[in-house]
Amino acid sequence: MRHLIDPLDFTLEETERLLILADKIAQDPAAYQEVARHKKLATLFYEPSTRTRLSFEAAMLNLGGSVLGFSSADASSAAKGESVADTIRVISCYADIAAMRHPKEGAPLRAAHYSRIPVINAGDGGHQHPTQTLTDLLTIRRRKGRLGGLTIGLCGDLKFGRTVHSLIMSLARCKGIRFVLISPEELRVPDYIITETLRPNGIPYEEIRSLERAMPSLDILYMTRVQRERFFNEEDYIRLKDSYILTAEKMKLAKPDMAVLHPLPRVNEIALNVDSDPRAAYFEQAQNGVYVRMALIMTLLGLEK
Amino acid sequence: MLNIDSIQNGLVIDHIKAGAGMRIYQLAGLDRLDCCVAIIRNARSNKYGHKDIIKIESVIDLDLAVLGYLDPNVTIDVIQNGEIVEKKQLDRPKQLVNIIRCRNPRCITSVEEEIDHIFNLSANGRYRCAYCEEEERHNPEGKKH
């Protein structure tokens, strides 16, 4: 039985297979509307995350399955002090597959150790969020037709953004990838990403401060938010915040087929006048998130054949 | 030089980094043994200048994972009838189970009962919690985690 706890739990080949299936689903969703009939997805959300929970539920309903679950720890037996290990053993009797969101890092892994059904990590604290990474990969693949041979720009908070770290580690497995890491000094990518992933694999990367300077070379621009609370002093924040806001003006410097991604929700890091640019792919991501979760549920339940 | 009698049957943990003997004594659970245990600190060593040695007058089941984690350079001599019959070299274990504790308050190990504290050896030579992937944090010498 397979689980998805870490974005790297699937090999590159397995990830590619899943993305191909997600792409097929996107092209003909009606062909898949009965494949999970009589199957149940349990959404175990120990903290609220409406967007992710609804995306999982939409995915299961689109496959003809049904959903049950809870959307906050107060509404679950965790409020009575039940352990994750006990909860998943009970849920294994009720459902065929589970998606777990938990504020504590590693909770879905703990659940997987005791589960009799596949467990999907739907976000564990600030640790991993593998279905967001799969969503990002599907969006890149659908826009560019491939994952390899691309120059990927990641911009903003590269230090604390877990989606950034997971995306780098996943794409680092593809041939011909080059990274441009665009951030203020305070929010540089953590050293371990460089020393354990980029350098040992000989992956070319560049760390720069200017988004404008990076724009012309990028095939993909992955935007994240620079948050005020990440800075030690207000002055630095005010000085730097506008440098990492994407505007229609800056988009003029980009390739005509570049794609802009963002894990959403955005606040002000992408100006509203970018939304109408055909290169803006961030709202497609939400749709792709449903397709990739449909493909994941099918794969983990062995329904893809 | 101070003389400690050689043992007839037992184990000698040799080549311990000078000053680390007491930490090994505590973390390897040697303080709970009933047999005679001698800790020799700052013994002269051709290889290291100084070293610590622990002599145990009984052939016990040592937790080699704990020792390998604490100091992979130590050697274990098995003594029978006053002779060394086996010399064991140690490696850093790939996984530590319940040897050190994760101290990340955001980790599931901070709230879940009866959970093993598991650390895996990562590519940079440090140990990371299997659940939250935080690197181990060192405690002051000799203190239990």
ipTM associated with this complex: 0.88
In terms of C-beta density within 10 A (0-12 exposed, 13-18 middle, 19 or more buried), how is residue B44 classed?
exposed
Task: Tell me how far apart the alpha carbons of residues A165 and A162 are, in angstroms, rounded to a whole number.
Answer: 5
Peptide bond before A29: cis, by omega within 30 degrees of 0? no
Q: How many beta-carbon contacts under 8 Å exist across A and B? A: 54
Look at residue B142 in the predicted model and tell me its pLDDT.
Answer: 38
Contacts with A109 from chain B: Cβ below 8 Å: 108, 130-131
DSSP B134: P
Positions in chain B whose pLDDT score sits under 70: 1-5, 138-145
- Is A38 considered catalytic here? no
- Is A80 considered catalytic here? yes
The rounded Cα B73 to chain-centroid distance in angstroms is 10
Contacts with B115 from chain A: Cβ below 8 Å: 85, 110
Among chain B residues, CA nearest to A109: B131
> In the structure encoding, which two tokens stand for residue A60, read together?
């299961």
Look at residue B143 in the predicted model and tell me its pLDDT.
Answer: 39
Positions in chain A whose pLDDT score sits under 50: none
Contact A64, A125 (CB under 8 A): no
- Distance between B129 CA and the closest CA of chain A, angstroms: 9
- Is A139 considered catalytic here? no
pLDDT digits (tens, 9 = 90+) for A53-98: 999 999 999 999 999 999 988 777 777 789 999 999 999 999 999 9
Selected catalytic residue, list A51, A113, A116, A199? A51
Look at residue A160 in the predicted model and tell me its pLDDT.
Answer: 84
User: In the Cβ-directed half-sphere of A230, how many Cα atoms lie within 13 Å?
Assistant: 20
pTM of the model: 0.88
- Asked if B112 is an interface residue toward chain A (Cβ–Cβ < 8 A), one would say yes
- Please answer yes or no on whether B133 and A110 come within 8 Å at the CB atom: no
Look at residue B2 in the predicted model and tell me its pLDDT.
Answer: 59
Task: Tell me how far apart the alpha carbons of residues A292 and A236 are, in angstroms, rounded to a whole number.
Answer: 39
Look at residue A143 in the predicted model and tell me its pLDDT.
Answer: 97
- Is A51 considered catalytic here? yes
Contacts with B122 from chain A: Cβ below 8 Å: 196
- Please answer yes or no on whether A110 and B112 come within 8 Å at the CB atom: yes
Look at residue A234 in the predicted model and tell me its pLDDT.
Answer: 83
Look at residue B141 in the predicted model and tell me its pLDDT.
Answer: 40
Contacts with A124 from chain B: Cβ below 8 Å: 108
- Distance between A250 CA and the closest CA of chain B, angstroms: 37
Look at residue B144 in the predicted model and tell me its pLDDT.
Answer: 41
- Please answer yes or no on whether A104 and B106 come within 8 Å at the CB atom: yes
Backbone phi, then psi, for A145, in 5-degree steps? 80, 0
For residue A128, give every residue at least 6 positions away whose Cβ sits within 8 Å of its Cβ, in sequence order, or none: A5, A6, A7, A121, A162, A166
Task: Tell me how far apart the alpha carbons of residues A83 and A104 are, in angstroms, rounded to a whole number.
Answer: 12
Among chain A residues, CA nearest to B124: A196
- Asked if A3 is an interface residue toward chain B (Cβ–Cβ < 8 A), one would say no
- Is A299 considered catalytic here? no
